[in-house]
Chain A
Amino acid sequence: MANVLWLQGGACSGNTMSFLDAQEPTVVELIVDFGINILWHPTVGLEIGHQVSDLLNDCISGKTQLDIFVFEGSVVEGPNGTGQMNYFADRPMKDWVKELSDAAQYVVAIGDCATWGGIPAVPPNPSESTGMQFHKKQKGGFLGGDFVSKGGLPVINIPGCPAHPDWITQILVAISTGRIGDVLIDDYHRPRTFFTDFVQTGCPNARSFAEKIEGGFGKRGHGCLFYEVGCRGPMTRASCNRILWNRQSSKTRANHPCLGCTEPGFPHHDLKKGSVFKTMKYLGFLPQEVPEGESKLMYWFKAGVGKFSPSPSELKEHSK
């Protein structure tokens, strides 16, 4: 049994939409079978108006036990640090966030905006947005690098744009069943169980990656999207290709380059010219960014060899 309060700051509600698509367990099963008591949520909450601000104040005072404070969306500090650009229940949202984070046993940031600022924080960051405990790759964010919730953990970051519903529901269940101690987190406060392997794990194009066979838009077959259209699957830690999305597919399975949305800094290179759906190149043909765990020189050497060695033809032919 755990009381969950879910609020949205500079959000698009994409994580909520993703959460509503959850299966095993569904949102309803989460409540009925797993003892998750949602105190309030902007989409499904029953309380209204002053009932909401009273409820928030009861959480802050301790009258209502706040086990998990979930935050979706960036913390909006603009203009000029006032937070007036995101007003909620008679106050700047950031003021609620601070007090609720101090009151909660555990604080969970869901989605890139809440974890590291996400798209709203892309320069010039018009709303002065930041993440709960990170600003892009930099530890700190709104609550500060030293923040630890009452339960003894820093903000638990569940990144992704949006986060996969499994990542959300499983962490909520882990906390509510007293097993959060089994969840190890990495340097970016991500649960390792979801964010250790790369997106490439389970990608049907992985062999083409090894063989340096290029894929591209509108092409059938299993060409690799890393070489030309900017796929970040080899550099991005997430379980997308193992658990799939909407039970059906994943970006790379649908010939869509991975955007690297579970890594801090998404959208990468701040959307500068030439960085969107294009692989940024070194010397005109070598990928500027190389897979994690490889030195650039070694990777480029191998890539150069691979590029000019013959590719197995059966990979290029693929049934419709």
Chain B
Amino acid sequence: MALKELNISPVGRVEGDLDVKVYMENGVVTRAHTQAAMFRGFEKILAGKDPQSGLIVTPRACGICGGSHLYCASSALDVAWKTTLPPNALLMRAIGQAAETTQSIPRWFYAIFATDMANKKFANKPLYQEVVKRFAAYVGTSFQSGVTASGRPVEVYALFGGQWPHSSYMIPGGVMCAPTLKDITRAHAIMNQFRNDWLETIWLGCSIERYMEIQSWDDLMEWLEENESHRNSDLGLFLRAGLEFGLDKFGQGVGKYLAWGTYLHKDMYNKPTIEGRNPATISPSGFFDGEKYYDADQKQVAEHIKHAWYTHQEEGLHPFDEPIPTTSMDIHNLENSDFGGKYSWSKAPRFMGHAAETGPLARVIMAANPANKEHQFRDPLFGDIMKRMGPSVFTRVLARMHEAPRLYLKINEWLSQVRLDDEFYIKPTEQDGIGWGATEAARGALAHWIKIKNGVIENYQIIAPTTFNVGPNDKDGNPGPIESALEGTEIEDPHDPVEVGMVARSFDSCLVCTVHAHDNKTGKQLAKFKL
């Protein structure tokens, strides 16, 4: 029984195709399988090529996170070639990374997520009319201003990288550009306009400085009730409607979080090494298992392929030990996938053996680590929110939006630290070796592993945040984070399972998702829709 009258709020998620098969019993999701439905084989293309190929190829793995791929690709080469990075280069890279992430915050919220809050499921809620007025696709008052504002931060990226998307301005040894004072001033001006046009006026309803005073959930609630400007800002509306609509009640997930961290400090990573990287991050790295923080040691990553369409690989290999992927020819029509066997183009990465959620929520949890150093983000808010409320669709969205004011301040700070008379690039000596580069893309932990031998790439492995989040089961049958977050979700109207869409979208999986909802008893397909 395929339904045709679906009213799931739209918004495909760019980047490839993801199918999600959901099984429900008595209105509750009992099992879910995620299927990545597109394969291009970038790692295979890179093998045997010029060592710098990743600088051109990997940003094109993802047009949304291209700057993040570039951050990783250049860092991996820095390690392999043992470069020296001038402070200006680290600043320029951090500014580009932060600009790309800042772009994604309003674009994701308005174009991808908030339109779901205008779904008729919530029509009987008191705040529904106001939500529709602001967040409805195309016609919402905030939809247009938010989507328009999202193009501004990447203008800063273009000033230093030439264009966005798809620049390759970060290179081993530094950056290509040598900006002038005109560029710096213009970048400040663009960011100020972004603040005045959206961040303070539409999103916060207060100054960034006032918002940054918030340290706990109670502080946040106090801020909300402080005045009408706060209550009526888009953040104020999201807080009130999010709780009223019950977005804090579903989409919990695996409860384990991984962040590689990013923004390598200008004076702490001038001699790039794998070991030296994590302590140099400004947005801190870490693994949080629900109770304790651990070092995000890249050695703890392993990729599983039992349920992925790849062969000739042992289970649970570290990226440095993985072969270039060999595709399995045992591909069935996605409709008839055997979930006991292979069912996705995505591998299943695990950290210390665990499925781990990556993304803004993981990042703000790491920012709440009491052990963070002076140069790192120290922000207790989400430590408190996790204790008080735990993870949910609501928490995840709030974490994403919480980053905008801090990144605004950081971009301005980094711009002001650029020393125009100093170097932006130190030419490195090319050599064979191994390297690892990592960052936080807007949607989570991204890393590249490279091996260079005889002057060409011997092996290149990319693990994207979406690989962590939408990966299939591992060899022991443990679900991936989104598969897990969907379990237990209550579906009010199985013919319009908007809740499933909201869970998947709260992760901002970088894929076009197709959800197939199945009734667990009859196995009948109930609904199918693009996310």
Contacts and interface: CB of A to CB of B under 8 A. Distances in A.
A143 interface: no
Interface string B297-308: 000000000000
Interface in A270-305: 270-277
Interface string A26-43: 101001000000000111
B180 A319 contact: yes
Contacts of A274: 50
A249 to B, nearest CB: 5
A248 B158 contact: yes
Contacts of A28: 138, 144, 147
Nearest to B160: A254
B514 to A, nearest CB: 7
A21 interface: yes
A46 interface: yes
Given A49-B6, A218-B175, A254-B169, A273 B50 contact: yes
The prevalent SS among residues of B at the interface is: loop
A46 B10 CA distance: 4
Given A47-B10, A253-B162, A126 B335 contact: no
A255 interface: yes
A141 B44 CA distance: 22
- Tell me which of A13, A74, A89, A161 has the highest count of chain B C-beta atoms within 10 A of its own C-beta: A13
A251 interface: yes
| Chain A residues touching B, majority SS | loop
B322 to A, nearest CB: 15
A16 B14 contact: yes
Contacts of A126: 39-41, 44-45, 327
B371 interface: no
Contact of B162 (A51, A249, A273): A249
A63 interface: no
B62 A12 contact: yes
B178 interface: yes
A320 B181 contact: yes
A118 B45 CA distance: 12
A250 B162 contact: yes
A317 B158 CA distance: 24
B154 A246 contact: yes
B41 A120 contact: yes
A14 interface: yes
B155 to A, nearest CB: 5
A200 interface: no
Interface in B177-210: 177-178, 180-181, 186
Interface stretch (B349-357, B376-384, B417-425, B480-488): B417-425
Max chain A C-beta neighbours (<10 A), residue from B45, B46, B137, B421: B45
B491 to A, nearest CB: 15
B26 interface: no
Nearest to B104: A17
B254 interface: no
A319 B180 CA distance: 8
A22 B354 CA distance: 42
Contacts of A161: 60, 166
Contacts of A18: 63, 165
A318 to B, nearest CB: 8
Interface of A: 8, 10-18, 20-21, 23, 26, 28, 31, 41-52, 54, 74, 76, 78-80, 82, 84-90, 118-120, 122-127, 129, 161-162, 217-220, 240, 245-257, 259, 267, 270-277, 319-320
5 contacts: A124-B44, A240-B163, A245-B162, A259-B168, A276-B56
